[in-house]
Structure 1
Amino acid sequence: MGEALVDVLTGDQGELRPTPGGSPANVALGLARLGRPVRLATRTGDDTYGALVRDHLTRDGVLLVDGATDANPTATATVTFRQNGSARYDFALHWQLSTATTAALHGGTGYAHLHTGSLATALAPGAAQVLAAVRAARPWATVSYDPNLRPTLLDGPEVERPRVEALVDLADLVKASEEDLDWLYPDLGAARAAADWAQRGPSLVVLTRGDAGATAFWPHGSYEVPAVPVDVADTVGAGDAFMSGLLHGLLAAGLLGGDGTRDQVPGRAALRAATRSAQTPDRVPTALRLAALAAAVTCGRPGADPPTAAELRSLAEPDGRRLARNATAPPVSWEDGR
């Protein structure tokens, strides 16, 4: 659940290249390409950019929840790149879910997991709709959250912190970047903040650190996963690809997901049980390596272009292609048969 928009990239000759994006939309696309049935609660405009976004998502199997198109312009993010390939975004967007979309979200169960984050959880009036939907979903679904903060659109850390922490407390799984947490907790530091979050509501908190890899925290321990070396085209959508790979891996391991009925959330119970000791939770490292591999593939090509299951499988196998010279992908189990 969250924003779908168009990333407006500047080409080598100064031309503008519109590319569908938006953090929650990217996660939905990544899950669909990995073979997961996925629906996206979002909004797009009845315009050319909106048609581009809708076609991009549905072509790969993402289903849009009713009411995804309205009269407001489709949101855009103008992207400029720093010398290291990292991206800077300037946004123009309206964020509010339609009555039809909120009715579909609250009108029944039927989904096993709810993911949200980024601008959808921060910008009024839609942020309040998202929070209400998360609270409503918890009796039958697991919840994940990625703050994916955009400081240029936000108030200061002291204002944003309570909003973010309210969603952290409701989530089973949280992923946040080092940049997110350094901004949100300037006097604490990202690693300490992530470890503190793991003492709150989530059973698992994953801190991503770019080419330094990622660290998973749970109430009584932590686990480091290295980044997969890659020749970087740009970093657009890398964190979202990491998120979709992580969700896919944890769902396959039975560590996320409800059964679509009230008071039956087996994935929540399994993840809690797996993270009660200081030992590394069983099956979590495999999901983290899958996430790192998905992020690396996305970094290796322009724009938010997450990998398919076939691409990840070819890289995970011992004789798989190399992402960068003298670098091979870490081993990944494909126990779910995908």
Structure 2
Amino acid sequence: MSDFLVVGECVADIVRVAGRPDVPHPGGSPANVAYGLARLGRRTALLTQLGDDPAGELIGAHLRAAGVEVLGDLGGPGVATPTAVVTLDGRGQASYDFDVRWTLRPVGTPPGGVRHVHLGSIGAVTEPGAAAVRDVVAALRHGATVSYDPNVRPALMGPRAEAVPRVEACVALSDLVKASDEDLAWLYPGEAPPQVAERWLAAGPGTVVVTFGGEGAVAYSAAGEVRGAPVPAKVADTVGAGDSFMSATLDALADLGLLGGPSRARLAALPEPTLAAVLRRAATAASVTVSRPGANPPDLTELSAALA
């Protein structure tokens, strides 16, 4: 049995900074989460699409080098590896221009099962591939816990009125949801994050975590609100910071034995001190990631040193 199955897209991030040559980096939110989990020593499989092209070769080698098992549509006819031009401003903040098609075919679940399934971003809401993602989650949810990160990309989400129900369907399937304040602002203009978190909790998840960039994060659950302080960092860029936060959150919960279907009730009843420790670990991982270029999360040794 694998610890984690991550389902979603890979994207070749072409990082563009004024006055410098373009540099391709392996990316895509689900792929970054899988890579981050493997770097932390977790047995992780990624169900995705990769084309038989240079970008696909780059991403595949990157993932396998960390120990990720890559599954799904790999080099099939008509499959091209998605790309995104990532433009960095003077503060290292990233904006994106995507060329992404998500057409994941129906696939079987990994033999032996998994303890936890993570889904998110484009792959969870973009048809026709999103239907295959939902089928995988439905097939595994009895025995596995589920997490979700909407990782909103407005250019690819379609009209808000259509995107919100798709996001909320994923929220309802999940035990843990992480979203940024920017995600929530696009999905629910004018609503405060606590209001959205309360509504999402009523839909099914035991915990909703909202990140606020350099201002830290807040976890909402039956225990109330738990605030996680930001961890200072000298920012090279913010690419992959939220994904690193997600990987470290799941890694912390795995350490606590809180993943897997039989642990669902305990995961939903996390006490405040435990949630605070999870947020600190996650924020520390994100701080390491933003301190260096690209989606480059810490390995276990680096994270342990940063926490110390």
Do they superpose with TM above 0.5?
yes
Aligned residue for 2:48, secondary structure, equals coil
Larger Rg: 1
**What is residue 327 of structure 1 aligned with on the other side?**
none
Task: Note if contact 1:120-1:126 (Cα within 8 Å) is conserved in structure 2.
Answer: yes
Name the one with the larger strand percent: 2
Cα RMSD over matched residues?
1.5
**What is residue 17 of structure 1 aligned with on the other side?**
23
Q: How much does 1:109 deviate? A: 4.8
Task: Note if contact 1:11-1:17 (Cα within 8 Å) is conserved in structure 2.
Answer: no
Q: How much does 1:158 deviate? A: 2.1
Aligned residue for 1:49, secondary structure, equals helix
* Separation (CA, whole Å) in 2 of partners of 1:16 and 1:83: 16
Map residues 215-294 of structure 1 onto 2, 5 A cutoff. Answer: 215-256=218-259, 258=260, 265-272=261-268, 274-275=269-270, 280=272, 283-294=274-285
Aligned residue for 1:73, secondary structure, equals coil
* Separation (CA, whole Å) in 2 of partners of 1:83 and 1:179: 20
* Separation (CA, whole Å) in 2 of partners of 1:193 and 1:83: 32
Task: Note if contact 2:40-2:299 (Cα within 8 Å) is conserved in structure 1.
Answer: yes
Aligned residue for 1:9, secondary structure, equals strand
**What is residue 331 of structure 1 aligned with on the other side?**
none
Q: How much does 1:190 deviate? A: 2.4
**What is residue 145 of structure 1 aligned with on the other side?**
148
Give identity over the alignment, percent.
47
Structure 1 alignment gaps of length 5 or more: 259-264, 318-338
Structure 2 alignment gaps of length 5 or more: 1-6
* Separation (CA, whole Å) in 1 of partners of 2:16 and 2:158: 28
Q: 2:86 aligns with which of 79, 82, 85?
A: 79
Task: Note if contact 2:105-2:129 (Cα within 8 Å) is conserved in structure 1.
Answer: no
**What is residue 176 of structure 1 aligned with on the other side?**
179
**What is residue 119 of structure 1 aligned with on the other side?**
122
* Separation (CA, whole Å) in 1 of partners of 2:160 and 2:51: 31
Aligned residue for 1:42, secondary structure, equals strand
Question: What per-residue deviation string (whole Å, max 9, x for no partner) do you get for residues 134-169 of structure 1?
Answer: 122111100000000100112232221111111111
Paired residue type of 1:41:
L
* Separation (CA, whole Å) in 1 of partners of 2:82 and 2:159: 23
Aligned residue for 1:145, secondary structure, equals strand
* Separation (CA, whole Å) in 2 of partners of 1:289 and 1:69: 39
1:186 and 2:189 are equivalent in the alignment:
yes
Task: Note if contact 2:239-2:290 (Cα within 8 Å) is conserved in structure 1.
Answer: yes
Task: Note if contact 1:26-1:241 (Cα within 8 Å) is conserved in structure 2.
Answer: yes
* Separation (CA, whole Å) in 2 of partners of 1:182 and 1:122: 18
**What is residue 3 of structure 2 aligned with on the other side?**
none
* Separation (CA, whole Å) in 2 of partners of 1:249 and 1:85: 28
The 10-residue stretch of structure 1 (285-294 or 206-215) with the greater mean CA deviation from structure 2: 285-294
Task: Note if contact 2:248-2:285 (Cα within 8 Å) is conserved in structure 1.
Answer: yes
Paired residue type of 1:292:
A
**What is residue 159 of structure 2 aligned with on the other side?**
156
Q: How much does 1:10 deviate? A: 1.7
1:54 and 2:60 are equivalent in the alignment:
yes
The 10-residue stretch of structure 1 (8-17 or 144-153) with the greater mean CA deviation from structure 2: 8-17
The 10-residue stretch of structure 1 (29-38 or 7-16) with the greater mean CA deviation from structure 2: 7-16
Map residues 295-310 of structure 1 onto 2, 5 A cutoff. Answer: 295-310=286-301
Task: Note if contact 2:43-2:68 (Cα within 8 Å) is conserved in structure 1.
Answer: yes
* Separation (CA, whole Å) in 2 of partners of 1:16 and 1:147: 28
Question: What per-residue deviation string (whole Å, max 9, x for no partner) do you get for residues 199-245 of structure 1?
Answer: 22000100000011000000341100011010100000000000000
Compared CA separation, residues 155 and 94, structure 1 to 2 (3 A): closer
